Amino acid sequence: MVNYSALSDEKLVILSQNNDTKAISELSLRYGKVSFAIASTFTSDSEECADLSQEGMIGFLSAVYSYRENENATFLTYASRCIRNKILSALRKLNSTKRIPDSLLVSLEQISETSAHPDTPENLILSESGAKLISSLIEEHLSKQEKDVLMLYLTGISYGDIAEKLNLSPKAVDSALQRARKKLREKLGNNF
C-alpha cells in the first residue's frame, strides 16, 4: 500500500498523469492551500478569495497534466505560476465586464470653475470655458484611440485596466496618452 502523503509532489504528479485518483486527491489537498494563499493576495473579501481560489485550482489541474519534470522547475514553482495565471485571467475577464456607473462620470462641461489661481493649467482645465476649450481640442485633434485612452485615464483608471478595456498593450496606452498630451500641450501652450 502506497503512503501518498509521504510522496513528493513530482512523484504524485507522475502518478496523477497515469490516472491515479488518490495521487491527484493528495495533490489537490496540498495545492488547495497554495491556491487560496495566492488568491488572497488579490482580495481581502473572503467570498471573492474563495472564488478566485477555485479558478486557481483549474490552473492547478492544468499544471498537473502539463508538467514535465525535466524542464528545470519544481512542480511547486510551475503549479504556482499556473494557478496565479489562471487567477489573473479570471480577474481580467471580470474587470473587462465591469462598467463605470454613469453617476461616477463627470463631463468636462460639468466641472466648476475654481478661483484660487485662475491662470494655472489645472484651473484652466477646471474652469467652464477651459472645459469647453479642451473638449473641442480633444474632438478636433485627437484620434479615436487617443480620446478613448484619455477619457478613461481622466476617470482614474490605471494603465493596465485601460489596456484590458481597449484591447491594447500597456505600452500602447502610454504612447496614446503621451501623444494626446503632446497634441493638447501644443494647442494650449506649455502649461498643459
Q: Would you say 50 and 78 are in contact if contact means Cβ atoms under 8 Å apart?
A: no
Q: How many Å apart are CA 43 and CA 33, to the nearest integer? A: 16
Q: Would you say 51 and 100 are in contact if contact means Cβ atoms under 8 Å apart?
A: no
In a shared domain, residues 92 and 119: no
In a shared domain, residues 65 and 113: no
Residue 107 has pLDDT above 70, yes or no: no
Instruction: State the pTM of this model.
Output: 0.50
Of the three residues 55, 77, 97, the one that is the final residue of a domain is 97
Q: How many Å apart are CA 67 and CA 144, to the nearest integer? A: 44
In a shared domain, residues 115 and 33: no
Q: What pLDDT shows up at residue 111? A: 46
What CATH number is given to the structural domain containing 166?
A: 1.10.10
Of the three residues 57, 76, 97, the one that is the final residue of a domain is 97
Of the three residues 78, 97, 116, the one that is the final residue of a domain is 97
118-143 per-position pLDDT tens digit: 555 555 444 555 556 667 778 888 88
In a shared domain, residues 91 and 139: no
Per DSSP, 189 falls in state -
66-85 per-position pLDDT tens digit: 888 877 788 888 899 999 99
More confident call, 33 vs 105: 33
Local structure of 127: helix, strand or coil: coil
In a shared domain, residues 59 and 8: yes
Q: How many Å apart are CA 152 and CA 160, to the nearest integer? A: 11
Q: Would you say 164 and 149 are in contact if contact means Cβ atoms under 8 Å apart?
A: no
In a shared domain, residues 49 and 120: no
Q: What total number of domains does the chain contain?
A: 2
In a shared domain, residues 113 and 152: yes
In a shared domain, residues 59 and 125: no
In a shared domain, residues 121 and 173: yes
DSSP string, 41-76: TT-S-HHHHHHHHHHHHHHHHHHHHH--GGGSS-HH
In a shared domain, residues 122 and 65: no
Q: Domain range spanning residue 147?
A: 102-188
In a shared domain, residues 8 and 67: yes
